Amino acid sequence: MPSAQSAVQTAVQSAVCAVGLTALVLLATAPPASAAEGWSLAPAGGGRPSFYAEGAPGAVLQDTVSVTNSGGHPVTVRLTSTGTGTGTGTAAGTGVPVAFAEPTVRVPARTRADVPFTMTVPSGAAPGDRSGTLVAKDADGRTATARIRLRVGGPALSALTVEHLAVHGDRITYELVNRGTTVLAPKLAVRAHGLFGRVLLDRAPRTLPVRLAPGTRTELSEPWPGHPALDAVDVRLTATAADGAHDTADTEARFVPWGTVAGTTVALTAGAAVAVVRLRGRRARQVAEPLSMDVELTGAAR
């Protein structure tokens, strides 16, 4: 009979073998093959047609993908999330970074490799459902894919600000910033008043050709080809979006026809200079001419 020491050694060896084979499992336990010839890609554990995960912004989510080699020869595949050949990327369509524990995996014949990976939900991600794809590619260029469905949790907050409003001649420039957690399709209204409240510009709200993701900003401008030549103007921009997001910004502008002003100044300066020269010339001539005196004798000495 085997000794107690031999039994312990046998148990330890079995445990070591079990740990060493956590990433390589017999094909009999692998999920059904799909996609590429001789090998396939699928969520680990069997029975799942795709990956599904939920997490709040900032969360790090973990899962495992299986590469199953049903052929008679080893296969080496490269795992990516965008098909760019990098081990860390962004799952296509989700905007969520994905990192694999082993970006390159060699799978022996008739075995399966289980590769853990993480998905990091960006801190500014908007709540809602997203989808993406994991991709495996072998040395011959054959690929297999596994779909990801991700639900980002958290409260939906709609918030918008108008910043850096300024008037530059015939253009009004500004920035829109998404301060919330939802994607925004903003509308903009523009109004400008001159001296004594005279309305110079009045544009009703209209949808802008932009979509603002949470935490992003965009610089835009409004044309104003018919701005006044001479006036003091107050400009107001009002931005609105769904779910009550809105903000208003005001600025002042002074329109002065500097070309006309400069021309007038030059003309006045030149006229004043000519007048000064003429006046000085007249005074000089008066000093140079001798005085003429007519003396009338009214008496004589005897």
- Tokens 């979006």 — which residue? 241
User: 288 lies in a domain?
Assistant: no
How confident is the model over 116-140, as pLDDT tens digits?
999 998 887 778 888 889 999 999 9
Q: Please tell me the distance from the alpha carbon of residue 268 to that of residue 272, in angstroms, as a whole number.
A: 6
Q: Average model confidence (pLDDT) for the chain?
A: 78
Mark which of 152, 182, 217 sits at the end of a domain: 152
Per-residue pLDDT, 34 = 42
The bridge status of strand 143-152 relative to strand 51-55 is parallel
User: 281 lies in a domain?
Assistant: no
- Tell me the backbone φ, ψ of residue 287, rounded to 5 degrees: -70, -35
Structural domain that includes position 176: 160-255
Same domain assignment for residues 147 and 175: no
Q: Where does residue 136 fall: left (phi above 0), alpha (psi -120 to 50 degrees), or beta otherwise?
A: beta
Same domain assignment for residues 178 and 208: yes
> How many separate domains does the chain show?
2
Per-residue pLDDT, 89 = 64
Same domain assignment for residues 118 and 184: no
User: 188 lies in a domain?
Assistant: yes
Same domain assignment for residues 124 and 199: no
| 31-45, 176-190, 224-238, range with the lowest pLDDT | 31-45
Find the CATH number of the domain harbouring 233. 2.60.40.10
3-state secondary structure 220-245: EEEECCCCCCCEEEEEEEEEECHHHC
Mark which of 97, 117, 152 sits at the end of a domain: 152
How confident is the model over 251-260, as pLDDT tens digits?
999 998 866 5
Residue 298 in this model has a pLDDT that exceeds 90: no
User: 7 lies in a domain?
Assistant: no
User: 63 lies in a domain?
Assistant: yes
Same domain assignment for residues 72 and 147: yes
Give the CA distances from residue 58 to residues 49, 122, 196, in Å, rounded to whole numbers and listed in that order.
26, 5, 52
Same domain assignment for residues 165 and 147: no
Mark which of 116, 132, 152 sits at the end of a domain: 152
Instruction: Choose among 19, 16, 102, 17: nearest CA to 66.
Output: 102
Residue 168 in this model has a pLDDT that exceeds 60: yes
Same domain assignment for residues 208 and 174: yes
Residue 36's pLDDT band (cuts 50, 70, 90): low
User: 297 lies in a domain?
Assistant: no
User: 283 lies in a domain?
Assistant: no
User: 126 lies in a domain?
Assistant: yes
Same domain assignment for residues 41 and 131: yes
How confident is the model over 57-99, as pLDDT tens digits?
889 999 999 999 999 999 999 999 853 333 456 665 667 789 9
Q: Please tell me the distance from the alpha carbon of residue 186 to that of residue 61, in angstroms, as a whole number.
A: 32
Same domain assignment for residues 45 and 165: no
- CB distance 204 to 188 below 8 Å: no
